[in-house]
Amino acid sequence: MVDPALETPDWIRATETGAWHLTGSQCPTCSAAYFPGRRHCVECGADEETRPFDVGGGGEIYSWTRIHVGAGAPYVLAYIDTPSGVRVMGRMDDAVSAQVAVGTYVSFLPGVADGELDGGHRVGHIALMEGR
């Protein structure tokens, strides 16, 4: 279910099946993929601008940690290796973390900030959920 009030930035979108996919960019010349997207390729330095690229809806945890210091702690950070070859950092709420491990498949979701500033509708980070 997509919350109609959710202000989704251009790097995450709901697919027809209800899954969330990240949008990065890809170089039309050398096919290097990026997330977050960037206007120009830094691999081949092509003049031609990159194009939007579907990073996919999730991937496997490369590594993770639970952070106990700083704003919003505790929370879990993880690097996710996507099938598109891009590594993405995402964030889990603490309750989910007990079930995660290196190699676990997680899906991307729009991560909403605590809502102090904007009523909780602004997507600020990538939230992770175990499973597909």
At 130, the amino acid letter reads E
User: Would you say the C-alpha torsion 132, 88, 41, 52 has a positive or negative sign?
Assistant: positive
Site stretch for other proteins (CB under 8 A), options 12-20, 46-54, 73-81, 114-122: 73-81
> For other proteins, which is the closer residue by CB, 5 or 101?
101
Length of the chain: 132
Per-residue contact track with other proteins, 80 to 119, x per CB under 8 A?
-x---xxx-xxx----------x-----------------
CA distances from 127 to 42, 51, 114 (A): 27, 24, 13
- By CB under 8 A, name the binding residues for other proteins: 32-36, 42, 62-72, 75, 77-79, 81, 85-87, 89-91, 102, 124-126
